[in-house]
């Protein structure tokens, strides 16, 4: 059990707080799984992540209606984005029938729901076949809500969006968190309110602009800020370092300079790359080399952090008691440029610190380097986790009943 679970995890009601036997439960899940060209699921992690909540409510004798989106059909019916493969996979995992319906509202859906018995599972069709879903249309939300007696949100990856299936339905039904969303709340509330010190924030990825709100909100909470990836070079340029052809966000220059100054003023140790793996061309490199120091010659661009930087970052991470990581250190998808990200992932995994990995590429890296099981928590929502770290209100969580 996460230390401080009662304090930080009990701000919202969850499925254990309500009577559900015989009730119709409308559950928002995140079944936005990757499919190959033949419509086969290539990674069922998101389906498996919903199983604890699904199995719990089924054991309690509820009638279960699952709703999700898949892809971005933009309000049109797309045969390649139907949830049919997900229904088949869920049926295998639950070892019980899952009735897949070809819409999520309307008379055919209502008829199917009215025929349900306790323990039955119905999977509604892709919510985003209706443009009203992402517009949070009140009538569409009302029609969804009319199918259930209680709403459960177990799709953290969509909680930062005020959609009909995440926020709109809560105006009509008592609304609680599923176990997956509950776990996300526990970890992110702890990070925001009372992280164990020293607290290290590790940021990477391509864009400074994506991480500015996170840095601004977290500076008062963290002890160490480690920045790698392409976003590091906008900061390095402000320090007078020659960054060659590396990515540089001119419009973020003043903000980067201000953040460097703020970190120093607030006593936050800030670490940027001191050497790099560089090449002349990302797609077809003819020359790959390691720089002697932080400077990069013209005609070369950074694609990973160098060995000196790896050792510097590892040393700081080993002393941390809380680590939050978002964004790779380089182009980790390419084996030649993956060492920095792999070493950071392995160092965090081997650390006794509470480690929170903020979805997206960081979660993908943890999976690629086989350290998923060694992290304290890997968030299921990249965008949602960033907004939580930025101190923003997530509509899908705010709308749930308070405990």
What are the tens digits of pLDDT across the range 315-360?
A: 999 999 999 999 999 999 999 999 999 999 999 999 999 999 997 8
Res. 56: pLDDT tops 70: yes
What pLDDT score does 6 carry? 34
Average pLDDT, stretch 158-176? Answer: 97
| Helices 208-218/382-389 angle, 10° precision | 40
Instruction: Pinpoint the alpha helices (H) of 22-173.
Output: 45-49, 51-59, 84-94, 107-114, 138-145
Give the per-residue pLDDT at 10.
Answer: 62
Cβ atoms of residues 340 and 329 within 8 Å: yes
255-278 as b/e: b if 16+ CB within 10 A:
bbeebbeebeeeebebbbbbbbbb
The two most distant CA atoms of the chain are separated, in Å, by 71
Is residue 207 annotated as a catalytic residue, yes or no? yes
Helix or strand holding residue 302 (H, E)? strand 301-305
Residues 6+ apart with CB under 8 A from 281: none
Please tell me the distance from the alpha carbon of residue 150 to that of residue 158, in angstroms, as a whole number.
19
- Cα 154 to chain centroid distance, Å, stands at 13
Amino acid 212: pLDDT: 92
Domains of the chain and any CATH numbers: 5-183 (3.40.50.1260), 195-389 (3.40.50.1260)
Active site residue 99: no
Q: How far is CA 233 from each of CA 73, 218, 283, 297, 380, rounded to the nearest angstrom?
A: 36, 20, 20, 13, 28
Nearest to 163 by CA among 402, 401, 394: 394
Give pLDDT tens digits for 207-228.
898 899 999 999 999 999 999 9
Structure tokens at 237: 């340029």
Res. 379: pLDDT tops 90: yes
Pick the catalytic residue from 87, 205, 229, 360: 360
360 is catalytic: yes
Could you say which DSSP state residue 196 is in? P
Task: Work out the average pLDDT over 268-296.
Answer: 94
Q: Is a pLDDT exceeding 70 seen at residue 7? A: no
Cα distance between residue 227 and residue 340, in whole Å: 12
Nearest to 101 by CA among 74, 69, 123: 123
What confidence category does residue 283 fall into, taking pLDDT thresholds of 50, 70 and 90? confident
When the pLDDT of each residue in the chain is averaged and rounded to a whole number, the result is 94
List the structure tokens of 330: 């380089």
Q: Which of 135, 207, 308, 368 is catalytic?
A: 207
Which candidate in 4, 71, 119, 383 is catalytic?
A: 383
Choose the catalytic residue: 12, 28, 46, 316.
46
Joined tokens for residue 265: 């003023």
- What does the chain come to in residues? 403
* C-alpha closest to that of 397 among 215, 193, 213, 157: 157
46 as an active site residue: the answer is yes
The sheet with strand 301-305 has its strands ordered as: 288-290, 276-279, 301-305
Q: pLDDT at residue 296 above 90?
A: yes
Give the pLDDT score at 210.
86
């Amino acid at each position: 059990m996460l230390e401080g679970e009662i304090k930080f995890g009990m701000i919202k009601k969850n499925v254990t707080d309500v009577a559900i036997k015989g009730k119709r439960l409308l559950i928002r899940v995140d079944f936005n799984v990757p499919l190959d060209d033949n419509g086969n699921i290539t990674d069922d992690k998101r389906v498996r992540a919903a199983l604890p909540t699904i199995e719990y409510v089924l054991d309690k004798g509820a009638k279960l209606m699952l709703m999700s989106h898949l892809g971005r059909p933009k309000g049109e019916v797309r045969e390649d984005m139907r949830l049919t493969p997900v229904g088949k996979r869920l049926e295998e995992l639950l070892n019980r029938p899952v009735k897949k319906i070809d819409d999520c509202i309307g008379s055919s859906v209502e008829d199917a729901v009215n025929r349900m018995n306790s323990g039955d599972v119905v999977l509604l069709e892709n919510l985003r076949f209706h443009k009203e879903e992402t517009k949070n249309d009140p009538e569409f939300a009302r029609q969804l809500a009319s199918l259930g007696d209680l709403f459960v949100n177990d799709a953290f990856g969509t909680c930062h969006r005020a959609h009909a299936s995440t926020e709109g339905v809560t105006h009509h039904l008592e609304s609680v968190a599923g176990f997956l969303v509950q776990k996300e709340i526990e970890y992110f509330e702890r990070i925001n309110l009372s992280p164990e010190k020293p607290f290290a924030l590790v940021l990477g990825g391509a864009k400074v602009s994506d991480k500015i709100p996170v840095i601004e909100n977290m500076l008062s909470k963290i002890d160490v800020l480690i920045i790698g990836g392409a976003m590091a070079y906008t900061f390095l340029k402000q320090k007078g370092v020659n960054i060659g052809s590396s990515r540089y966000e001119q419009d973020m220059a003043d903000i980067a300079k201000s953040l460097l100054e703020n970190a120093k003023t607030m006593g936050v140790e800030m670490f940027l790359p001191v050497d790099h793996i560089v090449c002349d061309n990302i797609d077809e490199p003819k020359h790959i080399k390691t720089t002697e120091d932080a400077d990069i010659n013209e005609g070369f661009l950074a694609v990973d952090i160098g060995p000196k930087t790896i050792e510097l970052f590892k040393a700081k991470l080993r002393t941390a008691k809380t680590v939050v990581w978002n964004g790779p250190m380089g182009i980790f998808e390419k084996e030649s440029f993956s060492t920095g990200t792999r070493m950071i992932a392995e160092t965090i995994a081997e650390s006794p610190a509470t480690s929170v990995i903020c979805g997206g590429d960081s979660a993908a890296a943890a999976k690629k380097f086989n350290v998923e099981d060694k992290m304290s928590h890997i968030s299921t929502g990249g965008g949602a986790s960033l907004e939580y770290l930025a101190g923003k209100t997530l509509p899908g969580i705010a709308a749930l009943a308070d405990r």
